[in-house]
Chains A and B, each alone.
Chain A
């Protein structure tokens, strides 16, 4: 009666799974591209945090005698049109670009997740109304809406990224609402209702922890889009204001000197490309790992 062994079917499934792996993370880490992308993201985060420590120069220090110079011992990646150190501006720009993207993702998730949970769990008129709003936001081209909001609120990076966050919120809303509808039909949610849990407790303790993984995937994918959006808005002059640098604003200023100093365009462009690729790779890897896990129920 008190022997505790695993049921054979579960045990077999677990054995079979362990061959290709068990936990989401180790499954994820078996993919080399994902490991590389995670390493890149780790490095970017570190740079963003440590920019003041590791930057060789002040990013706003102008040196008009040394404008548009190539790489040298003093300026590893050369100088820009005002003689500022490109490497230092890129390092500080990482901080600005990632920080701004983080803000946008936080706004998007902060709006989308709770509303998605409520709409998915409660359904009815609330769901209908929120879904209409989400559809409306989604039907407007994202960048155009962000430009409109950023213009109305005045050009500043914070305003621009708040706008981007609003634009991306329906993405979170949809993912969370869909997962919540699935979880709401699970027996353990019915069991929680019968136990006497309040709606808030059910959403917080029984639904949210079970829709967590799709949210994480969405965070990574959205982060990639947010970096692009930041670059785009800054390129248009709606983002970070001079003399501060972000990857996008560096690009904007450098275009004018494309023929004299192509590196000024290529370098921030490359960094944007690598960062976006890294976020998307991790997001896709996570999604694949999740899909496989869901095919083999535990």
Chain B
């Protein structure tokens, strides 16, 4: 599914500001962007750039000091309680740490079924069927539902976390460094899985990463953050081929090349 850029955005961040503690620079300072249906917007930055804080504000784990997060007509930053929880159905998140993002004492089937339990009227049998279907879609087997998270590898746990996140077909998926804790050969598997799910379900995606090479093929547009600000935002190709900001150029050129060779001294 190609992103429908003219359509109204599924998610819009407006001038988000977050300051931790009283003094000093805000961690996030006036960040704005919009995500079109089916589009993947990558937010790239180094540690301390504010990209993870931005992700957390998008999904409501942190309340912004100022600004709004528009999911359709609703400002998530202004919602509370039951109404906020209901809206979460459309906005899910995949975390960096596949080891920690699943409750260690809960069977993975129950973890995946939890959003269905909260947001749908499906009965227990229907939820089980849906969990089996989701497990298959992320490349696992239905019988894995009865196991505990510790019985799976990092890549498999990330598949489970993705199954849980897409269980209720959210309109937006926020991925915070979803592959940076994984082995190289597994990273590409998970990126393929995310790209495939996006094709089939058409969610908009905000993909947070420190690694420009990882987002190269999955991102339609890329935003570069530094020191809490969005210093550049543009189509992916343009960011790689013709970066406007000096910092973006530094980031692009810092990615090690497989073609580099050490001089033999």
A interface vs B, CB < 8 Å? 1-2, 4-7, 10, 186-188, 190-198, 201, 205-206, 209-210, 298
Contacts and interface: CB of A to CB of B under 8 A. Distances in A.
B97 A196 contact: no
Contact of A194 (B93, B100, B151, B152): B93
Given A188-B101, A191-B102, A210-B105, A197 B95 contact: no
Interface of B: 59-61, 82, 85-86, 88-89, 91-93, 95, 97, 100-106, 114-115, 118-119, 139-141, 144, 150-156, 161, 164, 189
Contacts of B164: 191, 195
Nearest to B148: A298
Given A205-B106, A209-B105, A188 B156 contact: no
A209 B102 CA distance: 13
A208 to B, nearest CB: 10
A196 B86 contact: yes
Nearest to B105: A209
Nearest to B56: A190
Contacts of A2: 139-141
Contact of A196 (B115, B151, B155): B115
B153 A7 contact: yes
B114 A4 contact: no
A194 B59 contact: yes
Given A4-B141, A6-B153, A196 B85 contact: yes
A247 B249 CA distance: 80
A195 B168 CA distance: 10
Given A7-B153, A10-B153, A187-B95, A196 B104 contact: no
Given A187-B97, A196-B85, A197-B118, A6 B139 contact: no
Contacts of A190: 61, 95, 101
Contacts of B82: 198
B85 A198 contact: yes
Contacts of A205: 103, 106
Contact of A206 (B61, B91, B103, B139): B103
Task: Give the interface centre of A2, A186, A191 by most chain B CB atoms within 10 Å.
Answer: A191
Contacts, number: 80
A196 B100 contact: no
Nearest to B189: A1
Contacts of A198: 82, 85
Q: Is the interface of A mostly helix, strand, loop or mixed?
A: helix
B85 A191 contact: no
Contacts of A197: 85, 114, 118
Contacts of A196: 85-86, 88-89, 115, 118-119
A4 B160 CA distance: 13
B114 A195 contact: yes
A197 to B, nearest CB: 7
10 contacts: A2-B140, A10-B150, A186-B100, A187-B97, A190-B95, A191-B95, A193-B60, A194-B93, A196-B89, A197-B118
B64 to A, nearest CB: 16
Given A1-B139, A190-B101, A210-B103, 14 more contacts: A1-B189, A2-B139, A2-B141, A4-B144, A187-B101, A194-B60, A194-B91, A195-B88, A195-B115, A197-B118, A198-B82, A209-B106, A210-B104, A210-B105
B107 to A, nearest CB: 12
Contacts of A209: 103, 105-106
Task: Give the interface centre of A190, A198, A205 by most chain B CB atoms within 10 Å.
Answer: A190
A194 B105 contact: no
B137 to A, nearest CB: 12
A4 B156 contact: yes
Task: Give the interface centre of A188, A198, A201, A210 by most chain B CB atoms within 10 Å.
Answer: A188
B59 A4 contact: no
Contacts of B97: 187
B161 A191 contact: yes
A298 B88 contact: no
Task: Give the interface centre of B59, B85, B140, B144 by most chain A CB atoms within 10 Å.
Answer: B85
A176 B159 CA distance: 32
Contacts of A5: 153
B223 to A, nearest CB: 21
B162 to A, nearest CB: 12
B104 A191 contact: no
B177 to A, nearest CB: 12
A160 B58 CA distance: 53
A1 B155 CA distance: 11
A201 B140 CA distance: 27
Contact of B61 (A4, A7, A10, A193): A193
B264 to A, nearest CB: 35
